[in-house]
Amino acid sequence: MPLPPAPTKRAAMLSPSAHDAPARPSQGRSGRRSTDRKSEEGGTTGPRPLELFDRHDAEAGGSVETLPPPKAKAAAPLAKAPSQAPSEVAETSAAAVRQAQPRAKRSKSNGPAKLFVLDTNVLLHDPMSLFRFEEHDIFLPMIVLEELDGHKKGTTEVARNGRQASRTLDALAAAQGADIGKGLKLDTTGHRESGGKLFFQTEPLEYALPTSLPQGKADNQILGVVQALRDLNAKDAPGRPKRDVVLVSKDINMRVKARALGLHADDYQNDKTLEDGDLLYSGSLALPPDFWTRQSKTVESWQSGSSTFYRVSGPIVPNLYINQFVYFEAPGEPSMYARVTEIRDKTAVLKTLKDYGSVKNAVWGVNTRNREQNFAMNLLMDPEIDFVTLTGTAGTGKTLMALASGLTQVLDDRRYTEIIMTRATVSVGEDIGFLPGTEEEKMGPWMGALDDNLEFLAKGDGGGAGEWGRAATNELIRSKIKIKSMNFMRGRTFLNKYVIIDEAQNLTPKQMKTLVTRAGPGTKIICMGNLAQIDTPYLTEGSSGLTFAVDKFKGWPHSGHITLARGERSRLADFASDVL
């Protein structure tokens, strides 16, 4: 009689209809030989029952279900089944483990689940925020849906987010088996990391706010809903355990009013890359003073071209990233400046840098003046680096170095076909209104930094003509530089371009993704900005698109970052940057 198929789940009884199933494919001669060998060694030739549970779980102390005694009708076929080969037993156990793995639930964080009440601005800021709260539940007051409906018209980013949030809510409500009264499961649309439910306000809630708060204002109605939910969830009730109610809002005044009323309020934290800007990856690391003495027994060095390579090991290796700069400066000892080119197991390879501070290595007549500028120029001139981020205060040379390296690689090296420059058009003061002309003419007032640096690069640092590159006319330089607006970047692909994104600290992470994904083959993108001068509303140093890019790209073999520390514009600019 053929063997019945393996059980589909652990500790499952076989149905009577399964006994007449076709035989499984033969496991080969090895399975029969192992069965015969085991019978000869053990001295038993009688049949043994099938194991309906995973033996490994039982040995590890796991729980094993106990099956009730089978009926007499089903017991006979099982007793007649021949002994199962060890290979088949192992296969059955492995199949049971594989069947059990998809059903394993994600481990939840410690503590009881909370109920988060979302403000409208959270959904307009991040339409996917519904799925960012792990195992906790979410509550949407009716006034939030009303405000969401009022913001969905238009072509702005807020309107697009409002429409996407509405579509997400509709998909959750239209899922099979959805019951608004009992809460909509957030994982029904494929977001398995969300283990909670979404609740709508389906009935009026009783609350009493101070008379000084206008009752018709939407913010105050949301505060009243939070207060009513807090009172409802303050005690255990049948089917509703006690839990905390938290208001999540991007509005600072809303959170202040909530705390004044004794309500728990918090900011939406998921969009923040870093809590503290000082924790941002700087791109460089100072080696300890005893680096060579501690590493002297494990250092290998070799020469390749004009560069020297060092293979080091030790406790500093786990703290390194690919393309991170390291430097050693100690009194009385030679200095060393290198870049991490390889990290393998517990060793790292360091490659010495090219000195762009030397006159013979000038880039379009520009020499670097400090350590960080030399690090940045090594990234800008490396054809293997596709994405470069530069941060630093005003006057550190970000735009000048990016333009100088771009002109050299476009006009001299012919590595790229042209330079494309763009920036976020965010005003420092009041907006001057609409601008006439073509796309480049409209972007002209925003590109004052480009004009200033081109004026310096066209005449050279010394004021003379110098080589052919320095004698090139402004018309030739201008013909290789295109000024583009960010508003028309969607859908474009840049091939063999040198793209400069200035004032990138004013971009949101979504805008940064839109720009960086425009890169085609042979394109290099440079993002520059000063995180201390953010002009976009609702963006902070921790949630800026530039911070997002620096943090996400660190350690990628074809990207690099450096934070420029010292200003080189003038002594007046340096002093003003420090004291103002």
Task: Indicate if the pLDDT at residue 426 is higher than 50.
Answer: yes
d(CA 299, CA 310): 7
Tokens of 413: 């090296």
pLDDT digits (tens, 9 = 90+) for 390-422: 999 888 889 899 999 999 999 899 999 999 988
376/400 Cα distance (integer angstroms): 11
Of 19, 26, 27, give the one whose Cα is nearest residue 3: 19
DSSP 442-509: HHGGGGHHHHHHHHHHHH-TTSS--SHHHH--HHHHHHTEEE--GGG-TT--BSSEEEEEESGGGS-H
Half-sphere exposure of 295 (CA within 13 A, CB side): 20
Q: How confident is the model at residue 277, as a pLDDT?
A: 60
* Residue 456 pLDDT level (bands cut at 50, 70, 90): confident
Higher pLDDT, 566 or 551: 551
Does residue 104 have a pLDDT over 70? no
Return the axis-axis angle of helices 252-260 and 218-232, rounded to nearest 10°.
Answer: 40
Q: What is the pLDDT of residue 80?
A: 39
- The H or E element that residue 387 is part of is strand 387-392
Measured between alpha carbons, how far is residue 341 from residues 95, 319, 537, 556 in Å?
44, 14, 39, 11
**CA 256 remoteness from chain centre:** 30
Whether 307 shows a pLDDT value over 70: the answer reads yes
Give per-residue pLDDT as tens, 321-372: 999 999 999 888 889 999 999 999 889 999 999 999 999 999 988 899 999 9
> What are the tens digits of pLDDT across the range 267-302?
888 877 666 666 789 999 999 888 887 766 678 999
Identify which has the larger pLDDT, 321 or 432. 321
User: DSSP letter at 39?
Assistant: H
The residue-averaged pLDDT of 84-101 equals 42
Q: Which amino acid is at 37?
A: R
Query: How many Cβ atoms are within 10 Å of 123's Cβ, its own excluded?
Result: 26
The whole-chain average pLDDT of the chain stands at 77
Assign 542 to helix, strand or coil: coil
**Tokens (6 digits) for 501:** 């994104």
> Helix crossing, 142-150 with 157-173: angle to 10°?
130
**φ and ψ at 458, to 5 degrees?**
-70, -35
Q: Which of 436, 474, 431 is nearest to 453 (CA)?
A: 474
| More confident of the two residues 64 and 268 | 268
CA–CA separation, 82 and 78 (whole Å): 9
Cβ within 8 Å of residue 541, ≥6 positions away: 274, 277, 531, 532, 534, 547
For residue 538, the model assigns a pLDDT of 73
Q: Which of 95-104, 122-131, 474-483 has the lowest mean pLDDT?
A: 95-104
Tens-place pLDDT, residues 254-271: 999 999 999 999 988 887
- Integer Cα distance of 26 and 29 in angstroms: 8
Tell me what pLDDT residue 272 has.
72
Query: For 237-241, 340-344, 396-400, 546-550, which range has the lowest pLDDT when averaged over its residues?
Result: 237-241
What's the confidence (pLDDT) of residue 561? 96
Cα R_g (the chain), whole angstroms: 33
DSSP 93: H
Q: What angle do CA 404, 405, 409 make, to 5 degrees?
A: 120
Higher per-residue pLDDT: 559 or 459: 559
Q: What are phi and psi of 14, to 5 degrees?
A: -80, 135
Q: Which residues of 171-196 are buried (b: 16+ CB within 10 A; e: fewer)?
A: ebeeeeeeeeeebbbbebbeeeebbb
CA separation for the pair 422, 369 (Å, rounded):
26
β-partners of residue 117 are 139, 247
Asked whether residue 19 carries a pLDDT value surpassing 80, the answer given is no
Q: Categorize the per-residue pLDDT at 436 as very low, low, confident or very high, splitting at 50, 70 and 90.
A: low
Buried b (16+ CB within 10 A) or exposed e, 511-531: bbebbbebbeeebbbbbbbbb
Phi, psi values for residue 114, rounded to 5°:
-105, 165
| Gap between the Cα atoms of 272 and 267, Å rounded | 10
Q: How many other CB atoms sit within 10 Å of the CB of residue 387?
A: 20
* d(C-alpha 441, C-alpha 428), whole Å: 20
Q: How far apart are CA 96 and CA 20, in angstroms?
A: 22
Q: What is the pLDDT of residues 20-60, one digit of tens each?
A: 544 444 444 444 444 444 444 444 444 444 443 443 443 44
Query: Both tokens of residue 133?
Result: 């709260």
pLDDT at 242: 85
Residue 378 scores a pLDDT above 70:
yes
Task: Identify the helix (H) or strand (E) that includes residue 219.
Answer: helix 218-232
pLDDT confidence bin for 528, thresholds 50/70/90: very high
Is residue 364 within 8 A of residue 469, CB to CB? The reply is yes
Q: Can you give the pLDDT at residue 283?
A: 93
Task: Give the pLDDT of residue 198.
Answer: 92
Do 375 and 562 touch, CB atoms closer than 8 A? yes
Provide mean pLDDT across the span 211-221: 86
Mean pLDDT of all residues in 180-209:
87
What is the arithmetic mean of pLDDT over 478-489? 78
What's the length of the chain?
Answer: 580
